[in-house]
Structure 1
Amino acid sequence: MYFSKDNAVTAEMIAERALFHLKYSRGKTLQVATDFDKFWSFAHVVRDLVIDGFTATQEEYLQKDVKRVYYLSMEFLIGKLLERNVLALDILKPSIEALKKLDIDLSTVIQMDIEAGLGNGGLGRLAACFLDSMASMELPAYGYGLRYEHGIFRQEFEDGWQQERPDNWLELGYPWEMVRPEYTMPVFVYGRVENISDTRRGKQPVWTDWQMFKAVPYDIPMIGFQTNTVNMLRLWSARADEGFRLDVFNQGDYVRAVEEKNWAENVTKVLYPSDNTHAGQELRLIQEYFLVSCSVRDIVRRHEKKHSDLRDFAEKNAVQMNDTHPALAVAELMRIFCDEYEMPWDNAWEITTKTCAYTNHTLLPEALETWPVELINRVLPRHLQIIYEINHRFLQRVEMAHPGNSELIQKVSLIEENGHRSVRMANLAVVGSHAVNGVAGLHSKLLRERVMPEMSELYPNKFINVTNGITHRRWLLKCNPELSALITDKIGSGWIHNLKELTKLEPLATDKAFQKEFMAIKRRNKEALGKMIENDLHIPIHPDSLFDVQVKRLHMYKRQLLSTMYLITLYQRIKANPKMDILPRTFVFAAKAAPGYHLAKRLIKLINSVAVVVNHDPDVAGRLKVVFLPDYNVSLAEKIIPAADLSEQISTAGKEASGTGNMKLSLNGALTIGTWDGANIEIAQHVGEENIFIFGHREEELHALAQNSYNPWTYYDNDQELQHVLEAIRVNSFDPSQPALFMDLFDDLTRHGDPFFYMADYRLYLDAQEKVEALFRQPEAWAEKSILNVARMGWFSSDRTINEYAEKIWGIKPISIPDTE
């Protein structure tokens, strides 16, 4: 196979194959080929090299009848794959040589690569890291997701306001996918349930009068890093059962002729359709069921290739539900087992719960999904019956163990009875799984103690922790090649396969020569980012300023507004004393706000308004720069993260489940300023609290404040700088022509009770930023801490995370794929 030392891939082989694809895949000669033609041809060369491994891997899994894990997620932010795949195949040098022979520059074709719009933020990027690790660790695994025609929106700014544009990522085709029409699955929705007599089993519920459409799978190979394993991500695309009604068209009703086609294709049209309307809410539910239905059917189909029945289904299959979006997998498995295979309920339930596991990603009550009973009954009537039956049997067991405890029954029930009746998807996922994990130590603790204490008491052994991790093969090796080369030069390449080997860098943290090399690379990364900012936004950036970076999904609990308040504070200090000695800083923001999240979108406008004023005020004299980079995605993150000096991880304590951006930034040598929250805690424990800037009230302190009628005005009244900052927001001193523009933000921090404790943490945050400034003025001390951050991040590899899942939850083992002839 392609990794065999006796069958090395040469530049001549790559060049020959590239010309083949240029002619036979693109119909071009080299003389008339465009850059896109060259990209497409080279991408297909790389894909060709993967196919032997892809088929060999699937064949080995089938022949050895291994247990496999299926990772169900509504998001997979896989980023661009070309460069990542070249590195995974270990063909970088021959690729450069081959393309040079054809007068093609590798960096040019890499820039042409297409970024799949399959996710929104951390949830999807985590899923992508996990696919990388599962393949690299030779674990039999599959990802299941949706092939959104338009993924997360493309963000633009108009007069500082976020504007959402369609992300047409499939417009030019996608070279990494392979359509599999032979595995198309039917999906059923709507209809009703009838009780029909069966001669053997008496009256049985039968789902009838449903509407059917189809799920067409597209496979994307997931290449293990320099191993023979090539797993796959299977994405489902919705199609109408009968796409075009020729009879209706011939009658002149052109709209109705394509009505069914348009309805079906809407299911995978966009990532997370807005649920602000009943139609949008219904579409989102259908979308979630669509993922579950075709994936579960596909898993059963694959199982039946080697097994005549389903009795050992749980011994051969593990289904991991990434958040509550795929929670309907519990009901769907039960429906298939009971209705289609006529399995007794108790047997079906035992298999289902042994198969399924659930990862919780949030502590925010509003983010724990619920669906109105009326909506599920209309869309999935049989599934609602099954959920009711699950709930009935579950509550019977609770009543037997805790007789007369009606409050407990109310809290753990799968059905929310207050006001409009709703199905609690998190409760369904917990009851229907054998393992429930949080994604950081504090998060898992709060999940048990604050979010689901009753469930935790009922299932004390079910709740566990598996702290998130990241794939260093993308977030260091790929995105920071100079630093990667320096590390390899000093400690060897073993760290690429085992990130814990980075600890060998620790003795070099005080080595002046190494510090100089290390910080020179950081400066070049800053220069590259600064050049991109100047080219795109026409804002000149000085690379010697402190790059203060906050890049993540925009949400009030993540507290981008707190950074903005600090920025306004610095600006007001300069206005009061233009000659003051202040550390030059470049504030870099990048974030998307959900289209319906109006407060977050107003915050984007505030940051951009502040930027216009600060960047052009002669009193500032360039000492502060504010940049909000539009359309944050994986590719942009790969440019920002290696250039960051300071990593802002300042969420309200107890609100961030884990975070993974904090890990990526620290791995690339940024120092963290953060609250005692999520994975910040474990980062502090591993890199040393003296090498991180922790500030703010801890979760238990904020909980006590909330219990004792927290009053934000107390902090307002006792802090003059805070008053001035809030007054600037209230009256919009950045654009006096629109004085009430940011009143909603002011009200959220004051009259509406400051739900995320900005006021309580403001002064503590400023104090921590003073420590940052003092340290940055000591370059050698800063360099030492930066190097120690890199050296001590080995534990945060997604390889470690996946190993924990494999051992604690899935019960799967690596299987080596032999070389092919």
Structure 2
Amino acid sequence: MFSDTRAFQRAFLEKLQVMQGKIVDDATAYDCFTVLGTLVREFISKRWIDTNTKYKHTGCKQVYYFSMEFLIGRLLESNLINLGIRDVCAEGLAELGLSFEEILQQESDAGLGNGGLGRLAACFLDSLASLQLPGHGSGIRYKHGFFEQKIINGYQVELPEYWLKDGYVWEIRRPEKALEITFGGHVQPVTENGRLQFYSEPAERVLAVPYDVPVIGYRNQTVNTLRLWSAEPVVDFEQEQPFQEQSYQKIVEYKHSLEAISEFLYPDDSTYEGKLLRLKQQYFLVSAGVHSIIRSFKKKNGSIAHFHETVAIHVNDTHPVLAIPELMRILLDEEGLGWDDAWFITTRTISYTNHTILAEALETWPTDMFRSLLPRVYMIVDEINERFCKDLWNRYPGDWERIHKMAIIADGAVKMAHLAIVGSHSVNGVAKLHTEILKKREMQRFNQFYPHKFNNKTNGITHRRWLLKANPKLASLITETIGDRWISQPTALLQLLKHAEDSSLQQAVEQVKQENKHKLANMIQDMTGIAVDETSIFDIQVKRLHAYKRQLLNVFHILDLYRRLRENPDLDLRPRTFIFGAKAAPGYHLAKRVIKLIHGTAERINKDPAIRGKLKVIFLENYRVSLAESIIPAADVSEQISTAGKEASGTGNMKFMMNGALTVGTMDGANIEIFEKVGNDNMFVFGLAADEVLQFYANGNYRAFELYKKDPRLAYVMDQLIHGGLSANQADFQIIFDSILANNDEYFVLADFASYVDIHAKIDRTYRDRRRWNQSSIVNIAHSGGFSSDRTITDYADEIWQLQALPIVSNSL
């Protein structure tokens, strides 16, 4: 792109004058960010065009990854790294007297996701482009994202996340590609030329306007696309006479009801209106996305009968599963295909990833709501269900119970996971244990009926963001040790195993870790006003706040440590800093009380001089991708402590190990595969196994109250919730207390407590042996390449999508 810093400076200064009308001395950091981002986007535009042109002219197969979330974080530095010009730009800006770091900080995290589901989708897009695979994302352009978290007196408060208030430098609006999406109304069957046709008269119309974001491959010419859809009114209020005659209030209400579709990620679904809005969002995404794909296909291809040969549509969890009946609707009603031909194409086009076994996450929709909002789509789902149930009857005649349990529509609900399995050609879990649970337990009947559909694709993370970008000093050290092949071939990190016992490398790895801890300690001081011991063990749990992820178990252990230190201030305990970051869903009251408990515990411990600073508890508010990039490289201990059998995979565990942290975890999700690679000497495993958890559920012989009475440590910790003064409001933690004792500890916090305390004692002992700890750290880094999303995407491309790499040749840069 730029031959040297001088070439970059000339381009930057010229763009600054044109865009901002300023010289460098007058420019703000945000001015500079906007100019640099625009400069990069314009420079890659020729590559972007060349990529799309090549895809079009070759007729290659392309995959479209549908997801309600794309947690892409900040893009500027990643894009500069992928283009190979980060250092040139940083040096050029420094010579102009500008701070590269300050400029990077001006970029907002894109408010397009919440947790691991969205971050996985973002990592996948990076790998698709970097592997030169024709693949794109399809999502919603949320105006306000999930929410901005503020902590006030220890309580989570949700504020709108105005990430688009200053625009978004990476997006290009494509109004010429807008599509009309319809809701409600009624369907009129008409016989034409001996064929039954269905015509819909919608009650509501909305315009889906695409905004395209480039996805730049690492050191290649590929630029794929993340297409985000924005909901806008169909009519121009100033031009349409019918609206001039209506009241201003009705116009405002109409406009707001439509734009609400892309207003917020995951509206509260505790009310009918909120649930209806979620269903609208999901249909809006898939209808716009599928229509756009078909429109593009028809421009360059002949018969729609070959659609599945050049198009793969992947649905990321159940949220976009309406793509199945929507594709059927288009093929039937708009393309004139018969049912069998439409079903053949649909089931060979669509594949599905299941991300959970939690009942509340396996979406269902009330049939009345579904039928009212999407009348024609409901008719198609109903027909799919009828035909599927007939197939079941033919296979299992008389087995009404099986048919009822497997039906897509039953008990007044449409079951989206069932629709996903029936209407796709591939169903994959995201870790070996998760897939086995799906096949043998949660989806056992479906696996018996469709054994060829189920497969495993263990999740992965992009090492280019989570190591090369997030931890540049460690990345440089790795390159000095084994060369840079690992950046394009992450399994080459295994070469580090040859050097794991090298004392000089161990010391260098420890030095990098200490520098990262120093940076995080400064950030903590700035964000919270609390000084932490940089030589203490940084023990970190950052992830979505949910009961099964068991932040509560972590807090219980902290309270027990605190008790022991109060009883014996001379206790031989390595100083420990416990760091949390998490958002709780606005309507998830138990999770929000756990956040309050963390703060109440922190308030008590951090101000107690009697424990001599041996413990600190920190909660960093508004956890997001950019914050994770600062936290993860500084971790000594990675907390991955979900109830066994509940976490589908996890990807935080992979990010931490890639940065040299040692995992304390249950045998759950991808923890099992990490353990298989690094072994017992390089990981701290505790707690019940998944089959033991299942036995407790099946037998009903778990008694949380008995553990509470038997173990004085648990009695103390539990009593702190009610009588410990950890909140000014004594009733704050009653909901937590009741979830453990009255509801019998659904996620086995008390059952795993003793084992968790013991494993942390082992962590304390092991950390004192610096040589052993640093060697384990290197072993974890070495094996982390196996968890790169490059490996995951290669598996998807080869085994599910049948996608071939297509190198792009561009003369633009």
Q: 1:234 aligns with which of 227, 235, 239?
A: 227
SS of 1:312 mapped into structure 2: helix
- State how far apart, in whole Å, the 2-side matches of 1:515 and 1:165 are: 44
* 1:68 aligns to 2:62 (yes or no): yes
Counterpart of 2:797 in structure 1 is 806
Q: 2:372 aligns with which of 364, 372, 378?
A: 378
Counterpart of 1:720 in structure 2 is 712
Q: Structure 1: where are the runs of 5+ without partners?
A: 3-7
- State how far apart, in whole Å, the 1-side matches of 2:167 and 2:426 are: 39
Counterpart of 1:604 in structure 2 is 595
SS of 1:640 mapped into structure 2: helix
Q: Which amino acid aligns with 2:684?
A: F
* 1:637 aligns to 2:628 (yes or no): yes
Counterpart of 1:311 in structure 2 is 305
- State how far apart, in whole Å, the 2-side matches of 1:561 and 1:91 are: 44
Deviation at 1:244, TM superposition (A): 2.3
SS of 1:95 mapped into structure 2: helix
- State how far apart, in whole Å, the 1-side matches of 2:64 and 2:99 are: 38
Q: Which amino acid aligns with 2:262?
A: T
Map residues 340-419 of structure 1 onto 2, 5 A cutoff.
340-417=334-411
Counterpart of 2:34 in structure 1 is 40
Q: Which amino acid aligns with 2:524?
A: I
Deviation at 1:251, TM superposition (A): 5.7
Map residues 580-729 of structure 1 onto 2, 5 A cutoff.
580-709=571-700, 710-729=702-721
Counterpart of 1:531 in structure 2 is 522
SS of 2:300 mapped into structure 1: coil
Deviation at 1:248, TM superposition (A): 7.0
Given that residues 527 and 620 in structure 2 are in contact (C-alpha distance below 8 angstroms), is that contact kept between their aligned partners in structure 1?
no
- State how far apart, in whole Å, the 1-side matches of 2:354 and 2:673 are: 18
Q: 1:290 aligns with which of 266, 278, 284?
A: 284
Map residues 15-34 of structure 1 onto 2, 5 A cutoff.
15-34=9-28
Question: In terms of mean alpha carbon deviation, does 650-659 or 688-697 score higher?
Answer: 688-697
* 1:212 aligns to 2:205 (yes or no): yes
Given that residues 183 and 202 in structure 2 are in contact (C-alpha distance below 8 angstroms), is that contact kept between their aligned partners in structure 1?
no
Given that residues 121 and 553 in structure 1 are in contact (C-alpha distance below 8 angstroms), is that contact kept between their aligned partners in structure 2?
yes
- State how far apart, in whole Å, the 2-side matches of 1:610 and 1:429 are: 44
Summarize deviations over 1:529-558 as a string: whole Å, max 9, x none.
Answer: 001101110110111100010000000000
Summarize deviations over 1:466-494 as a string: whole Å, max 9, x none.
Answer: 00000000000000000001111111111
- State how far apart, in whole Å, the 1-side matches of 2:231 and 2:349 are: 26
Deviation at 1:199, TM superposition (A): 2.5
Deviation at 1:249, TM superposition (A): 7.3
Given that residues 354 and 434 in structure 1 are in contact (C-alpha distance below 8 angstroms), is that contact kept between their aligned partners in structure 2?
yes
Q: 1:817 aligns with which of 797, 808, 811?
A: 808
Map residues 234-253 of structure 1 onto 2, 5 A cutoff.
234-244=227-237, 253=247
Given that residues 665 and 671 in structure 2 are in contact (C-alpha distance below 8 angstroms), is that contact kept between their aligned partners in structure 1?
yes
- State how far apart, in whole Å, the 2-side matches of 1:499 and 1:199 are: 59
- State how far apart, in whole Å, the 2-side matches of 1:19 and 1:205 are: 59
Q: Which amino acid aligns with 2:601?
A: V
Given that residues 75 and 119 in structure 1 are in contact (C-alpha distance below 8 angstroms), is that contact kept between their aligned partners in structure 2?
yes
Counterpart of 2:168 in structure 1 is 174
Deviation at 1:622, TM superposition (A): 0.8
Given that residues 193 and 205 in structure 1 are in contact (C-alpha distance below 8 angstroms), is that contact kept between their aligned partners in structure 2?
yes
Counterpart of 1:5 in structure 2 is none
Given that residues 213 and 264 in structure 1 are in contact (C-alpha distance below 8 angstroms), is that contact kept between their aligned partners in structure 2?
yes
Given that residues 244 and 261 in structure 1 are in contact (C-alpha distance below 8 angstroms), is that contact kept between their aligned partners in structure 2?
no
Question: In terms of mean alpha carbon deviation, does 686-695 or 91-100 score higher?
Answer: 91-100
- State how far apart, in whole Å, the 2-side matches of 1:296 and 1:487 are: 43
SS of 1:793 mapped into structure 2: helix
Q: Which amino acid aligns with 2:325?
A: A
- State how far apart, in whole Å, the 2-side matches of 1:314 and 1:183 are: 22
Deviation at 1:245, TM superposition (A): 5.2
* 1:458 aligns to 2:444 (yes or no): no
Q: Which amino acid aligns with 2:535?
A: D
Map residues 32-181 of structure 1 onto 2, 5 A cutoff.
32-181=26-175
- State how far apart, in whole Å, the 1-side matches of 2:87 and 2:790 are: 26
Counterpart of 1:567 in structure 2 is 558
Q: Which amino acid aligns with 2:323?
A: A
Deviation at 1:439, TM superposition (A): 0.1
Map residues 724-735 of structure 1 onto 2, 5 A cutoff.
724-735=716-727
Q: Which amino acid aligns with 2:579?
A: V
- State how far apart, in whole Å, the 1-side matches of 2:7 and 2:295 are: 38
Given that residues 237 and 244 in structure 2 are in contact (C-alpha distance below 8 angstroms), is that contact kept between their aligned partners in structure 1?
no
Q: 2:484 aligns with which of 480, 493, 500?
A: 493
Summarize deviations over 1:602-645 as a string: whole Å, max 9, x none.
Answer: 01000000100000011111110000100000000000000000
* 1:791 aligns to 2:782 (yes or no): yes
- State how far apart, in whole Å, the 2-side matches of 1:193 and 1:426 are: 26
Counterpart of 2:263 in structure 1 is 269
* Number of equivalent positions: 810
Counterpart of 1:335 in structure 2 is 329
Question: In terms of mean alpha carbon deviation, does 251-260 or 745-754 score higher?
Answer: 251-260
| Identical columns (%) | 46
* 1:777 aligns to 2:777 (yes or no): no
Counterpart of 1:302 in structure 2 is 296
Question: In terms of mean alpha carbon deviation, does 656-665 or 738-747 score higher?
Answer: 738-747
Counterpart of 2:498 in structure 1 is 507
- State how far apart, in whole Å, the 2-side matches of 1:260 and 1:243 are: 12
Summarize deviations over 1:357-393 as a string: whole Å, max 9, x none.
Answer: 0000001012100000000111100011000000001
Q: Structure 2: where are the runs of 5+ without partners?
A: none
- State how far apart, in whole Å, the 1-side matches of 2:714 and 2:573 are: 19
Counterpart of 1:743 in structure 2 is 734
**Shift in alpha-carbon separation, 1:304–1:715, aligned structure 2, 3 A:** same
Q: Which amino acid aligns with 1:724?
A: Y
SS of 2:811 mapped into structure 1: coil
- State how far apart, in whole Å, the 2-side matches of 1:635 and 1:775 are: 31
Summarize deviations over 1:405-461 as a string: whole Å, max 9, x none.
Answer: 1011011100121xxx00000000100000000000000000111111111110011
Q: Which runs of 4+ in 1 moved over 6 A?
A: none
Counterpart of 1:752 in structure 2 is 743
- State how far apart, in whole Å, the 1-side matches of 2:627 and 2:754 are: 32
Provide the TM-score with structure 1 as the length reference. 0.97
Question: In terms of mean alpha carbon deviation, does 30-39 or 631-640 score higher?
Answer: 30-39
Q: Which amino acid aligns with 2:769?
A: Q
